[in-house]
């Protein structure tokens, strides 16, 4: 249905010309292509789709929090602070959109906890093949 070359507006909603940057136009086109792929391939599970709006100033926690506030306001939801993470999320149907920033203290705590990663190894177990994956 959508894999064939088609007239340019067949999979585009009637929004007319969009006056957006090339980067935004590329994202919008990608979303349409994803929608077309999902429609064309019902043999696969529906993919999970998550969009992240990254604050431009992630290293400046208070500035990044104000950027998350702006995203939350645009989405019509409230942000929250939990365990050093300032976060907001909303959904467009099954698609989640989120914006968050992690404080320097929370990142440091995570890095300290992760510093032990790889230090403890489980006992060897027999490899089990499942469809060629080991």
Mean pLDDT confidence for 119-125: 76
Phi, psi (deg, nearest 5) at residue 21: -65, 165
Token match 């709006």: residue? 53
Are the CB atoms for 55 and 68 separated by under 8 Å?
yes
* 124 vs 108 pLDDT, higher one: 108
Give me the pLDDT at residue 1, please: 46
Q: pTM for this one?
A: 0.71
Mean pLDDT confidence for 128-134: 57
- Pairwise CA distance, residues 28 & 96, whole Å: 16
pLDDT at 122 over 60: yes
Percent of the chain at pLDDT > 90 equals 54
Give me the pLDDT at residue 129, please: 57
Mean pLDDT confidence for 103-119: 87
Give me the pLDDT at residue 13, please: 58
For the chain, the average pLDDT equals: 85
Instruction: Please return the burial class of 14, using the count of CB atoms within 10 Å of its CB with bins 0-12, 13-18 and 19+.
Output: exposed
* pLDDT tens digits, 7-58: 555 555 565 667 888 888 888 889 989 999 999 999 999 999 999 999 998 8
Residue-wise DSSP of 14-56: S-------HHHHHHHHHHHHHHHHHHH-TTSPPPP-EEE---T
Query: Contacts by 40-44 with C-beta closer than 8 Å and gap 24+?
Result: 40/1, 40/2, 40/3
């Amino acid at each position: 249905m959508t894999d064939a070359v088609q007239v340019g507006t067949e999979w585009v909603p009637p929004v007319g010309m969009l006056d957006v940057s090339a980067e935004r136009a590329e994202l919008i086109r990608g979303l349409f292509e994803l929608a077309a792929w999902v429609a064309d391939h019902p043999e696969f599970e529906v993919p999970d789709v998550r969009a992240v709006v990254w604050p431009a100033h992630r290293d400046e926690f208070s500035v990044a929090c104000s950027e998350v506030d702006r995203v939350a306001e645009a989405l019509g939801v409230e942000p929250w602070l939990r365990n050093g993470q300032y976060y907001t999320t909303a959904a467009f149907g099954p698609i989640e959109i989120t914006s968050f920033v992690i404080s320097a203290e929370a990142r440091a705590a995570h890095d300290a906890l992760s510093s032990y990663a790889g230090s403890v190894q489980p006992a060897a177990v027999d490899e089990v093949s499942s469809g060629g994956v080991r």
